[in-house]
Amino acid sequence: MPRRKPHQHRPQRRKEVRPGPGGGQGDAFRCVGCRLEVPLAAPGTAHRNHCPTCLTSLHVDRRVPGDRRSTCRGRMTALGVEVRGDGEWVIIHHCLACGELSANRIAGDDNALALLRVALRPLSGPRLPLLQRAAL
């Protein structure tokens, strides 16, 4: 489907560190959530930072994406979805070990059903604030 808004090109940060054993080899990694083998090449992005099937990520970066300076290495699950000004979805990941948040752009082969489940989570729960207000 064509984008509804004209895509403003935003250059990506250059990535020096490649994930994998030894920091340099390997063109795939194993997801910590669903244990699937995930290739590093991702359509639409140069940074594969989450599993396209279950959207789980690993806490390896500290402040700058790709710096690999975090000592946590905890599992990060998708907490919510943010929409950038150009209409692109960004997954908010939440580290289950230390509680840190990070924002990661979605890739072209991400599971659409899993993405939609995360995006619908605020609207599907029982704590919808407007409904609470209407019930009073």
| Interface residue list for another protein (CB under 8 A) | 1, 4-5, 62-63, 79-83, 87-89, 92, 94, 100-103, 106, 112-113, 115-116, 119-123, 125-127, 129-130, 133
| Cβ closest to another protein, residue 68 vs residue 89 | 89
Minimum CB distance to another protein, residue 96 (Å): 10
Query: How near is the Cβ of 14 to another protein at its closest, in Å?
Result: 17
Q: Element (H or E) spanning 135, and its range?
A: helix 129-135
**Neighbouring C-beta atoms of residue 72, cutoff 10 Å:** 17
Closest approach, Cβ 10 to another protein, in A, equals 13
Nearer to another protein, 36 or 92 (CB): 92
Structure tokens at 26: 């390997």
Cβ proximity to another protein: between 20 and 122 the closer is 122
Q: Give 86-134 as a DSSP string.
A: TS-EEEEEEETTT--EEEEEPPTTS-HHHHHHHHHHHHHSTT-HHHHHH
